Chain A
Amino acid sequence: MRKVVRLVLALAVMALPVNGVAGAIAQDSAALEAEVAETVAELTATYGVNDIEGYFAHYEPDMTFWGPMGRWDKATYLAYWTEYIESTGGLSSAENSDMQIAVAPGGDLAVASYLLRVTRTNPGDGASAATYQMSPTLMKRNGSWTVVHLHFQTVPGPEE
């Protein structure tokens, strides 16, 4: 009986650090997901208020990009968006929904996928609102998350 008790105690002691590590990893993962969620929220907030500098500060200089216009880089995107805001007034709102985030085991690469709904200040003959399927991949460098790749496409719908 004593042997059984000792065995159970030994197993319990062995299990403690493992559970502790697993708990720490889960906590870290949740904390990292929260960091990424905050960064993406800032990305969308700056986008929605036409803060060009603040918005593009979230993108790495060597970022890659897939959009409805094909393969762009940061400079092309910056030039396009600056001209768009100057000529139309840009956006009046931008809002995220259906956010899903995954963080790599090392904790320095993450991908977010979500819907982005925007309304345009002066749509002209175009639609006043649009929804996009968004997939930014972010990397954590020097303590900050920035976007290294963005893939987005328009959700076809009646508002388009």
Chain B
Amino acid sequence: MRQVLRGRNLHWLIVAACFVAACGGPEPAPEPVVEEPMPTVEDEVRERMAEFVHAYGSNDVEGYIGAFAADGTQWWPGRRQTRDGYHELWSGVVAGGGGLTEANISDLQIHTSPAGDGAVASYLLKVKRITDDPESVDATYQMSATWFKRDGVWSIAHFHYNPVPDAN
């Protein structure tokens, strides 16, 4: 009788152990949570710069000019320029079959403000122009773009460029 009970007890013990193992056994180790690093202000500006140059190189006039703040200032070689003036000029160039086939930046250096809503990017811009003059296809510029983030949107508050004559 005792043996029968022992056998039954053993039986129930095994069943219970299996049940615990199946339902409530030790929890598997949780998957490590890999948190995406928050983009830094510099990351945001680099991304905006890439979009800006891409729009320029692909002759997306509105995308390109849209990066400039309406109240922004610009130094062009020998004179000031406005966003509206640039818009009119560049629209005419692209509409007339001109524009670029390539625009690439290098030597990009960025300073960001402590408040996180201002930055200045300086870089070299190499472009290939659509032109009948083979001497004028390649051009390189020293570029400086000062960006402000207003209402969550980065735009260029000041723009300064000059050609590098001996770069090509």
Contacts and interface: CB of A to CB of B under 8 A. Distances in A.
Q: Is the interface of A mostly helix, strand, loop or mixed?
A: strand
B120 A148 contact: yes
Contacts, number: 105
A71 B160 contact: no
A77 interface: no
Interface in A36-88: 62, 64, 66, 70-71
B57 interface: no
A98 B143 CA distance: 21
B115 A106 contact: yes
Interface in B74-104: 75, 77-78, 80
B111 A148 contact: yes
A98 B80 CA distance: 10
A155 interface: yes
Interface stretch (A1-9, A12-20, A119-127, A132-140): A132-140
Contact of A155 (B78, B143, B164): B78
Contacts of A108: 113-115, 118
B65 interface: no
Nearest to A150: B144
Interface residues of B, number: 31
B6 interface: no
The 3 closest A-B pairs by CB, nearest first: A106-B115, A109-B118, A104-B118
A62 B71 CA distance: 29
Among B71, B150, B160, find the residue whose CB has the most chain A CB atoms closer than 10 A.
B160
Contact of A102 (B73, B75, B119): B73
A144 interface: no
Given A102-B158, A137-B120, A148-B120, A66 B114 contact: no
